[in-house]
Structure 1
């Protein structure tokens, strides 16, 4: 008997649209639909919700990513591996990965969270991805978690620049300018659009000394700043 079922009442089969497509996308087929349903249920919807699975998935994810990096980069020292792992499992990274899987379309939310745009909230999407990993671990074991994580992170690792070790564009730009004793860039929000829960921001990044001006876009001010900083950094290193 699955030990998870001892503490959790059995739920009705989860009416997931395009179920086979979702299973194909994640590379795993759930045999217990109630476990998948719990993983995709936010606490605002009711009980059982996904917080316990999130707790489990967080640990399984960290272990799987650690093993992946250990095998992928045999010459990388421990400190660099730790920083790289932290960058790959933070909320922003998990939100981006959850968005690729379109988990926002599947999460069950209470009415209040749904109306306030919870389907697109980074914290909710990141936590749901961890809960999904926890559910895979409970049903399929750690080997299935490793398979899922390896496939999920493969595109990120293919485009990884080890010289930056996962540093975000704003940090790289700042370190570059500081190393040359140049003034730090100035970031200014120049436009916002969209509804409150799905706003888009435009941010201008200006580096007067280098005569650089870029405009970044994103669903938050932070992301727009990162986009602008990335463009500015690429202009500098390719000039």
Structure 2
């Protein structure tokens, strides 16, 4: 997939930002797999923009929740921010603006579904934030971020956001492996109307975490949450 003027215009319409330097936008959607396969073109990938965008997201979200929730202690503010800028949430924002449709990916990533992979989508969203900041400045990128994430902030603050720990754990594991963890029910207790399940999440013969819940799904999420704590 090449990135021509028509695609530039369409992406700008999706995100409602008109770039002065369209090379920044092109770099934001260039995955390293694409630049590696096209070394002769000396393309820059989006990793540096991702680094910048990550910091800008932290700043904008921190500033917003600091002002909006003056009675919340530091720990609660940190928890809200950590969920709002997590990979699953940012990947969802990428899907809302159809960012995956515009990514420049290498053949391997294309074949294995990289356009829909949360880690790639989240990284691309951060890179897009970085590119908007460099091209348009802080006020424009703040407006872009809050337009997409204010509803999520409110949901998280109200305690109504359900973090998908299984997806987050998978994203962490995929940083170093293509394998997936297994979730094993090791105990099932209680009558049918009041079951309690114990689940272990296992990766490469190692138990990463154990969770207990009233359903297998709830126990799996708890196991994944505990595994993430262990890994991090």
Question: CA deviation digits over 1:150-206, x for unaligned, max 9?
Answer: 101022134345346x563779xxxxxxxxxxxxxxxxxxxxxxxxxxxxxxxx9x8
- The residue correspondences of 1:103-122 to structure 2 (distance < 5 A) are 103-122=99-118
Classify 1:18/1:44 alpha carbon distance in 2 versus 1 (closer, same or farther; 3 Å): closer
Q: Would you say 1:17 and 2:7 are equivalent positions?
A: yes
Structure 2 runs not aligned, ≥5 long = 36-42, 167-184, 197-212, 220-232
- Match in the other structure for 2:148: 152
RMSD (CA atoms): 3.8
Given candidates 63, 69, 79, the residue that maps to 1:67 is 63
Question: CA deviation digits over 1:5-43, x for unaligned, max 9?
Answer: xxxxxxx984343835x4344232112221101100001
Report the TM-score, using the length of structure 2 for normalisation: 0.65
Classify 1:125/1:147 alpha carbon distance in 2 versus 1 (closer, same or farther; 3 Å): same
What's the offset of the Cα at 1:227?
11
- Match in the other structure for 2:21: 32
- Match in the other structure for 1:236: none
Q: Which whole-Å CA distance do the structure 2 matches of 1:124 and 1:62 have between them?
A: 19
> Does the aligned pair in 1 maintain the 2:90–2:125 contact within 8 Å?
yes
What's the offset of the Cα at 1:103?
1.1
> Does the aligned pair in 2 maintain the 1:13–1:34 contact within 8 Å?
no
Q: Which whole-Å CA distance do the structure 2 matches of 1:118 and 1:228 have between them?
A: 26
Q: Which whole-Å CA distance do the structure 1 matches of 2:114 and 2:3 have between them?
A: 24
Q: Would you say 1:78 and 2:68 are equivalent positions?
A: no
Task: Give the match's secondary structure for 1:36.
Answer: helix
Classify 1:161/1:139 alpha carbon distance in 2 versus 1 (closer, same or farther; 3 Å): closer
Q: Which whole-Å CA distance do the structure 1 matches of 2:3 and 2:108 have between them?
A: 25
Name the structure with the higher helix share: 2
Question: CA deviation digits over 1:48-97, x for unaligned, max 9?
Answer: 11111111111111111111211222221111000110111111111111
> Does the aligned pair in 2 maintain the 1:64–1:146 contact within 8 Å?
yes
> Does the aligned pair in 2 maintain the 1:60–1:134 contact within 8 Å?
yes
> Does the aligned pair in 1 maintain the 2:84–2:156 contact within 8 Å?
no
- Match in the other structure for 1:168: 163
Q: Which whole-Å CA distance do the structure 1 matches of 2:88 and 2:96 have between them?
A: 13
Q: Which whole-Å CA distance do the structure 1 matches of 2:48 and 2:33 have between them?
A: 14
- Match in the other structure for 1:211: 194
Q: Which runs of 4+ in 1 moved over 2 A?
A: 12-20, 22-27, 157-164, 166-171, 206-213, 225-230
Report the TM-score, using the length of structure 1 for normalisation: 0.63
